[in-house]
Amino acid sequence: MSQGFEGASPLLQGLNMMVEVGEKVAILGANGIGKTTLLKTLMVEFAPQSGEIKWSENANIGYYSQDHAAEFAENMTVFDWMSQWKQAGDDEQVVRGILGRLLFGKLMMQKPNILLMDKPTNHLDMESIESLNAALELYQGTLLFVSHDREFVSSLAIRIVEILPSKVVDFSGNYEDYLRSQGLN
């Protein structure tokens, strides 16, 4: 599969992978390299430039976006929505963390067997990150996630997909083994 935007060189080229039921796959790479684009392509929000995406017939996909604005009323920003209950002293980080926890609850109620998560630990406090981590460790479904949080990646991933400018590295193993394989540990 290849993916990119018209008038620009492809962000992803020659990506060919099969994800097994129950795998927990971390998608890594520099900012702007195409991680979110990959997740949105997997969600069929973007059509691939070449190739195809195939899911099993019983796939029930849950998606946690790094931008939650689409989850709320169109005529109101997320901050306007939360401001209805905001109190003096609340800051943007707290508001975003609360929104994230609400959306995790929504995902749990949908009971997906595949989770695609784009930077799920962003804006969460440590207690929420630990709770999310514990829940995902117990999650029996398939998980593909983007994160820059090394501890989060280390605790969950059994496979690493790193998007680099000239290629995609698909490594079967945990984060520490991946770093060693790249001479970085």
pLDDT in tens, 40-59: 989 888 888 888 899 999 99
**150 domain-assigned:** yes
Whether the CB-CB separation of 41 and 34 falls below 8 Å is answered with no
Give mean pLDDT, residues 73-94.
64
Give mean pLDDT, residues 99-125.
81
Whether the CB-CB separation of 23 and 158 falls below 8 Å is answered with yes
Q: Which of 32-41, 68-77, 91-100 has the highest mean pLDDT?
A: 32-41
**11 domain-assigned:** no
How many percent of the chain have pLDDT more than 90? 44
**3 domain-assigned:** no
**Torsion over CA: 113, 105, 161, 167 (sign):** positive
Residue 102 has pLDDT above 80, yes or no: no
pTM of the model: 0.80
Identify the pLDDT of residue 49.
81
Identify the pLDDT of residue 125.
82
* Number of domains, the chain: 1
**131 domain-assigned:** yes
**4 domain-assigned:** no
Average pLDDT over the chain, rounded to an integer: 84
CATH of the domain at 168: 3.40.50.300
**8 domain-assigned:** no
Domain range for 126: 24-181
pLDDT tens-digit series, residues 131-175: 889 989 999 999 999 999 999 999 999 999 999 988 899 999 999
Identify the pLDDT of residue 13.
77
How is residue 21 annotated by DSSP?
T
Q: Which amino acid is at 165?
A: P
**70 domain-assigned:** yes
**46 domain-assigned:** yes
Whether the CB-CB separation of 177 and 153 falls below 8 Å is answered with no
Give mean pLDDT, residues 71-99.
64
Residue 120 has pLDDT above 70, yes or no: yes
Distance CA 44, CA 125 (A): 31
